[in-house]
Amino acid sequence: MNYYEPLTYVVPPEEDGAMLKTILRDRMQLSRKLLSRLKLTPEGITVSGERRYTSSRVKAGDVVEIRMAEEESEDILPQELPLHILHEDRHLLIVNKPAGMIVHPTHGHYVNTLANAVVYHWLARGEKIRFRPVHRLDQETSGVLCIAKNPYAHQHISEQMQAGGVEKSYLAVVRGRVERDAGTIDAPIDRDPESPHVRIVTPGGYRSVTHYETIERFGTEASLVRLRLETGRTHQIRVHMKDIGHPLVGDSMYGTGEDRIDGENGSVKTVGGVSLGRQALHAFMLAFAHPLDRHPVSFEAPLPADMSGLLDRLRQRLCE
pLDDT at 262: 44
Q: Tell me: the pLDDT tens digits for 217-255?
A: 999 989 999 999 998 899 999 999 999 999 999 898 898
Asked whether residue 265 carries a pLDDT value surpassing 60, the answer given is no
pLDDT at 257: 59
Active site residue 192: no
Q: Tell me: the pLDDT tens digits for 144-175?
A: 999 999 999 999 999 999 888 999 999 999 99
pLDDT at 70: 82
Asked whether residue 269 carries a pLDDT value surpassing 60, the answer given is no
Average pLDDT of the residues of the chain: 90
Q: How confident is the model at residue 79 (pLDDT cuts 50, 70, 90)?
A: very high
Residue 290: count of CB within 10 angstroms of its CB: 15
Q: What CA–CA distance (Å, rounded) separates 223 from 213? A: 10
Q: Tell me: the pLDDT tens digits for 270-316?
A: 555 556 778 999 999 999 999 988 899 999 999 999 999 999 988 98
Asked whether residue 187 carries a pLDDT value surpassing 70, the answer given is yes
What domains appear along the chain, each with residue ranges and CATH number? 7-66 (3.10.290.10), 85-162 (3.30.2350.10), 167-319 (3.30.2350.10)
Q: How confident is the model at residue 259 (pLDDT cuts 50, 70, 90)?
A: very low
- Angstrom distances, CA of residue 145 to CA of 7, 90, 173, 300: 24, 16, 20, 10
Asked whether residue 268 carries a pLDDT value surpassing 50, the answer given is no
Q: Phi first, then psi: give them for residue 265, nearest 5 degrees.
A: 60, 25
pLDDT at 316: 87
pLDDT at 267: 34
**Of 69-83, 85-99, 267-281, minimum mean pLDDT range:** 267-281
Residue 316: count of CB within 10 angstroms of its CB: 12
Q: Tell me: the pLDDT tens digits for 114-143?
A: 999 999 999 999 998 999 999 989 999 999
Asked whether residue 20 carries a pLDDT value surpassing 90, the answer given is yes
Asked whether residue 69 carries a pLDDT value surpassing 90, the answer given is no
Asked whether residue 91 carries a pLDDT value surpassing 60, the answer given is yes
pLDDT at 137: 93
Q: Which of 62, 138, 251, 262 is catalytic?
A: 138
Q: Are 225 and 281 a contacting pair, CB within 8 Å?
A: no
pLDDT at 272: 53
Q: What CA–CA distance (Å, rounded) separates 110 from 8? A: 38
- Angstrom distances, CA of residue 219 to CA of 24, 62, 179, 247: 57, 66, 11, 16
